[in-house]
C-alpha cells in the first residue's frame, strides 16, 4: 500500500530504503527477528548510525535534536523500518520520555534529560504497574512522601520492561491518598542507581528476562525531579498511555512476519508438497493478509483524517486490539509451519554444542509464539480495549 506517493514523499521513501540497504545487515535482522529486545551492544551501534544520519528521534522537535517530520514522513519511516525488520527505537526514550518532558517538563528538565535520552546514554523504563494496580492503574500504592527538598519513596513496581538494564525510570507515585484514586498521583523521574532501589528479574513464559520487579526502600528523589504538578500525574499518565497504544498496532511488523511465513511455507513440505500449496494453510495465510489489509487501511484512515490531525482517541484501542490479534495469529501460523521442529525450546543464544534443529526460521518460532502472548496484556489489556471500544465507539 503506497498511498503516500507524492514525488517528495516517494524520494524520502527511497532514501530510507537506501539507508536500510546500506546498513541493515543479515545479522542485525536475525537478532531483531529472534528477540523482542535485541542485544544491547548491537542496538547501541544501530542507534549511533541513526544519530549520525539525524534520524534518532523522528517525532521530537528539531530544537531537541529531533526530525520534526510531518506525520506522513514519520509514518513512511516507521513503516519501512518495520517491513525491513530493522531494530525498534529505544521505545521509552523516544515514544514516552521525550514527549513527556516536551509537553509537561520544565525547560531545565528538558536540558538535563533530553540530550542523554537522545544519544541513548540514558536508557529509560516505565514504572507504572504494581502488583495490585495494572488495569486499574489508579489504585497504585507506591508512596512518595515529601520531606524537605526530597520525596521519599517506598513500595514496589512490577512488570518493568527493560528495568534490569535501564539507567533511569519515570514512574507514578502516590503523594496523597485522601481523595479520589485518580487524584494524588505524581510523576517522578529518577536514576536507578539511587540507594534503596533494587530490582528482581522475572522470567517470562519463553524463558526470556525482559521484565523485573522494582523495590523502593526509602529512596530519596530530589524535588526537581517532579514532572508537572504534584498530585496531577494522572493526566500525564493518560496522555502517555495513549501514545503507547498507537505504536502497538505494529501492522508493518506483522506484514514482515507474514513475508517470512510465506517464504518458509514455500520451502517446507507437508505430504510431499510445499506447505504453501496446501489449500488449508494457504487459506489461513490469505485470511490473515486480508485482515491486515483492512487494518492497514483503517490505521491510515484514522491517522490521516484531516479533522483528527493524527490525534487518536478510542480509535487507538481498535488498532491495538486488532493489531495484536493479527500479530499473535502470525506467530501461531509460523509455529504451525515449523511443525514438530518448533517443539524443542531452541534458544538461539544458548545452543551450546548442539547445532540448530530443523530449518532456521523454526529456531525462534516457539519462543516468539509464547513471548507474544504479552502484547494482549501490556499497554492496556485487550479486554480493557474491548471495554473502551464498546463504550466510546459503539456507545453500549
Ligand X SMILES: Cc1cc2nc3c(=O)[nH]c(=O)nc-3n(C[C@H](O)[C@H](O)[C@H](O)COP(=O)(O)OP(=O)(O)OC[C@H]3O[C@@H](n4cnc5c(N)ncnc54)[C@H](O)[C@@H]3O)c2cc1C
**Interface contacts to ligand X, rule CB under 6 A:** 125-129, 134-135, 159-161, 211, 374, 377-378, 381, 383-384, 387
Cβ-based nearer residue to ligand X, 266 or 391: 391
CB of 359 to ligand X, least distance (A): 28
> C-beta of 383: minimal distance to ligand X in Å?
3
Quote the CA–CA distance of 240 and 283 in Å, as a whole number: 39
CB of 40 to ligand X, least distance (A): 17
Cβ proximity to ligand X, 89 vs 134, nearer residue: 134
What is the spatial distance between Cα 294 and Cα 300, in angstroms, rounded to a whole number? 10
**CB closer to ligand X, 248 vs 254:** 248
Nearest approach, Cβ of residue 90 and ligand X (Å): 13
CB of 387 to ligand X, least distance (A): 5
Least distance between ligand X and beta carbon 308 (Å) = 26
Q: Which is nearer to ligand X, 125 or 265 (CB)?
A: 125
Instruction: Pick between residue 75 and residue 159 the one whose CB is nearest to ligand X.
Output: 159
SS (H, E, C) the chain: CCCCCCHHHHHHHHHHHHHHHHHCCHHHHHHHHHCCCCCHHHHHHHHHHHHHHCCCCCCCCHHHCCCCCCHHHHHHHHHHHHHCCCCCCCHHHHHHHHHHHHHHCCHHHHHHHHHHHHHCCCCEEEECCECCECCCHHHCCCEEEEECCEEEEEEEEEEEECCCCCCEEEEEEECCCCCCCCCCEEEEEEECCCCCEEEEEECCCCCCCCEEEEEEEEEEEEHHHEECCCCEHHHHHHHHHHHHHHHCCCHHHHHHHHHHHHHHHHHCEECCEEHHHCHHHHHHHHHHHHHHHHHHHHHHHHHCCCCCCCCCCCHHHHHHHHHHHHHHHHHHHHHHHHHHHHCCCCCHHHCCCCCCCCCHHHHHHHHHHHHHHHHHCCCCCHHHHHHHHHHHHCCC
Q: Measured from the CB atom, is 45 or 135 closer to ligand X?
A: 135
Minimum CB–partner distance for residue 136 and ligand X (Å): 6
CB 32 within 8 A of CB 38: yes
Backbone phi, psi, residue 372, to 5°:
-75, -5
What is the closest distance, in whole angstroms, from the C-beta atom of residue 350 to ligand X in the complex?
Answer: 21
Q: In the bound complex, what is the minimum distance in angstroms from residue 371's beta carbon to ligand X?
A: 8
- 5 by Cβ neighbours in 10 Å (0-12 / 13-18 / 19+) ranks as exposed
Q: Which is nearer to ligand X, 31 or 161 (CB)?
A: 161
Cell numbers placing 24? 541493515
Indicate the residue among 67 and 317 with the shorter CB distance to ligand X. Answer: 317
Please give the residue whose beta carbon sits closest to ligand X in the complex.
Answer: 134
The smaller minimum CB distance to ligand X, of residues 161 and 248, is found at 161
Amino acid at each position: 500500500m503506497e498511498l503516500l506517493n507524492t514525488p517528495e514523499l516517494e524520494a524520502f521513501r527511497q532514501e530510507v530504503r537506501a539507508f536500510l540497504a546500506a546498513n541493515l545487515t543479515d545479522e542485525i535482522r536475525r537478532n531483531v527477528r529472534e528477540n523482542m529486545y535485541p542485544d544491547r551492544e548491537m542496538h547501541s551501534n544501530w542507534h549511533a548510525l541513526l544519530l549520525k544520519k539525524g534520524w534518532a528521534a523522528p517525532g521530537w522537535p528539531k530544537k531537541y535534536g529531533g526530525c520534526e517530520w510531518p506525520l506522513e514522513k514519520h509514518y513512511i519511516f516507521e513503516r519501512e523500518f518495520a517491513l525491513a525488520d530493522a531494530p525498534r527505537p529505544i521505545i521509552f526514550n523516544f515514544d514516552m520520555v521525550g514527549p513527556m518532558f516536551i509537553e509537561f517538563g520544565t525547560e531545565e528538565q528538558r536540558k538535563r534529560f533530553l540530550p542523554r535520552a537522545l544519544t541513548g546514554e540514558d536508557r529509560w523504563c516505565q514504572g507504572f504497574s504494581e502488583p495490585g494496580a495494572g488495569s486499574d492503574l489508579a489504585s497504585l500504592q507506591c508512596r512518595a512522601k515529601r520531606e524537605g527538598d526530597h520525596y521519599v519513596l517506598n513500595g514496589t513496581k512490577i512488570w518493568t520492561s527493560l528495568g534490569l538494564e535501564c539507567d533511569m525510570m519515570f514512574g507514578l507515585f502516590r503523594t496523597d491518598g485522601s481523595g479520589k484514586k485518580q487524584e494524588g498521583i505524581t510523576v517522578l523521574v529518577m536514576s536507578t542507581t539511587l540507594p534503596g532501589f533494587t530490582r528482581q528479574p522475572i522470567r517470562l513464559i519463553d524463558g526470556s528476562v525482559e521484565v523485573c520487579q522494582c523495590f523502593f526502600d526509602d529512596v530519596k528523589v530530589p524535588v526537581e525531579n517532579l514532572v508537572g504538578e504534584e498530585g496531577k500525574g494522572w493526566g500525564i499518565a493518560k496522555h502517555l498511555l495513549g501514545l503507547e497504544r498507537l505504536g502497538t498496532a505494529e501492522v508493518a511488523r506483522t506484514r514482515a512476519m507474514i513475508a517470512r511465513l510465506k517464504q518458509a511455507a514455500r520451502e517446507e513440505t507437508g505430504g510431499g508438497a510445499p506447505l504453501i500449496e496446501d489449500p488449508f494453510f494457504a487459506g489461513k495465510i490469505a485470511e490473515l493478509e486480508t485482515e491486515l489489509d483492512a487494518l492497514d487501511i483503517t490505521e491510515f484512515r484514522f491517522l490521516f483524517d484531516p479533522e483528527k490531525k493524527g490525534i487518536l482517541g478510542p480509535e487507538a484501542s481498535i488498532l491495538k486490539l486488532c493489531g495484536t490479534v493479527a500479530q499473535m495469529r502470525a506467530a501461531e501460523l509460523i509455529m504451525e509451519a515449523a511443525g514438530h521442529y518448533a517443539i524443542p525450546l531452541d534458544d538461539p543464544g544458548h545452543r551450546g554444542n548442539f547445532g540448530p534443529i530443523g530449518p532456521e526460521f523454526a529456531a525462534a518460532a516457539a519462543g516468539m509464539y509464547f513471548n507474544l502472548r504479552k502484547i494482549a496484556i501490556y499497554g492496556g489489556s485487550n479486554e480493557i480495549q474491548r471495554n473502551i471500544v464498546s463504550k466510546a465507539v459503539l456507545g453500549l
